[in-house]
Amino acid sequence: ILKNYVDGIPKETDMEVKLGETIELRAPKGSSCFLVKNLYLSCDPYMRGRMRDFHGSYLPPFVPGQRIEGFGLARVIDSDDDNYKTGDIIGGIIGWEEYSLLRSSDNLQLRTIQLDDDIPLSYHLGLLGMAGFTAYAGFYEICCPKKGDSVFVSAASGAVGQLVGQLAKLHGCYVVGSAGSKQKVDLLKNELGFDEAFNYKEEADLDAALKRYFPEGIDIYFDNVGGSMLDAALLNMKVHGRIALCGMVSLQSLSTSSQGINNLYNAIPKRVRLEGFLQSDYLNIFPQFLENIMRYYKEGKIVYIEDMSEGLELAPAALVGLFSGKNIGKQVVRVAKE
């Protein structure tokens, strides 16, 4: 339950886990609803945006006193909707609760998951879900990559960043990632195949750091953080470089989203293209994404790092951890055994 609208960086105490409510485990006849047992929840930075009293975004705010919702995976246990049968596994927007009563007409981005013995179910929240798709759509549709391009990715070990970097390597690019700890930097270089990586928290001068790794400039910056890193990247873009504005997690808790950007002018003489995007605008290529990423994964061409918290009680901590970089890889919460 969201207790109240959040100011600044979200805290565990902004949420409350309520236990003990008894519900009827049936989908009411004639309701066109179906009841699901929730298995996994996805923790995503955009959820912070729904914790404030602001109605001008692409999603409405959560309601204080009511349960939070987000992407998840669940098993159908009773259904009054012919499209969803008992036993089906679905992915989409579900409540942060043990059971949810869903109605497909509620725009929940529902899909039935095809189980695959070689791929853990929870991967459908990251690698094969919204985060993975964001990386895929953002990299191929926004960045216009070419073999040999120099690519920079921020929050590079996270759910989106880890796949962007690996897709860029598969495309024949030179790839550098930034992350917030030595452990993450090692992961990027040793397991995820990045050419280079650095800990941005140890760099007093981000411009100098980028000049060290990109002496000839950056062709593509996949921006997950905004703020001072975006500002430094703007100084280092090549002529006709592309910046994919994916997210601004460093600003999620600030009120002014343009804070810290002084170098935007550089985009003009260098003819840099900056483009914001939402993964949901590209759902027409979701089947192509699923097919390609499943194949890459099975062929061992990409790896996937997941950070699993056990139990609904730990969900607030898991969500809050995204804003201090506690998660290593895609943050997921297991609510119940499959």
322 binds ligand NDP (CB under 6 A): yes
Burial bucket for residue 308 (CB in 10 Å: 0-12, 13-18, 19+) = middle
**Residue of the chain from 166, 224, 236, 309 that contacts ligand NDP (CB under 6 A):** 224
In one-letter notation, the amino acid at residue 327 is N
Give the residue with the Cβ less far from ligand NDP, 84 or 152.
152
Cα–Cα distance for residue pair 152/146, rounded to 1 Å: 14
**Which residues on neighbouring strands pair with residue 75, listed in sequence order?**
37, 89
250 binds ligand NDP (CB under 6 A): yes
CA distances to 158, 166, 241 from 226, in Å: 15, 21, 17
Give the residue with the Cβ less far from ligand NDP, 88 or 196.
196
**Residue of the chain from 161, 165, 241, 260 that contacts ligand NDP (CB under 6 A):** 161
Cα–Cα distance for residue pair 79/35, rounded to 1 Å: 6
Site for ligand NDP in 188-217 (CB under 6 A): none
278 binds ligand NDP (CB under 6 A): yes
Give the residue with the Cβ less far from ligand NDP, 236 or 327.
327
Give the residue with the Cβ less far from ligand NDP, 41 or 76.
41
Q: What's the min distance (Å) between Cβ of 278 and ligand NDP? A: 4
Cα–Cα distance for residue pair 338/334, rounded to 1 Å: 9
CA distances to 72, 84, 239, 267 from 169, in Å: 29, 39, 22, 25
Q: What's the min distance (Å) between Cβ of 202 and ligand NDP? A: 12
3-state secondary structure 254-267: CCCCCCCCCCHHHH
**Residue of the chain from 159, 168, 210, 232 that contacts ligand NDP (CB under 6 A):** 159
Q: What's the min distance (Å) between Cβ of 19 and ligand NDP? A: 28
Give the residue with the Cβ less far from ligand NDP, 75 or 334.
334
User: Strand order in 174-179's β-sheet?
Assistant: 196-199, 174-179, 150-153, 218-223, 237-245, 273-276
122 binds ligand NDP (CB under 6 A): no
**Residue of the chain from 132, 241, 247, 316 that contacts ligand NDP (CB under 6 A):** 247
SS3 category, 124? helix
Which one of 80-88, 140-148, 274-282, 288-296 is the stretch in contact with ligand NDP (CB under 6 A)? Answer: 274-282
In one-letter notation, the amino acid at residue 73 is L
Where along the sequence are the contacts to ligand NDP (CB under 6 A)? 44-46, 130-131, 134, 155, 157-161, 179-181, 184, 224-225, 246-250, 277-279, 322-323, 325, 327, 330
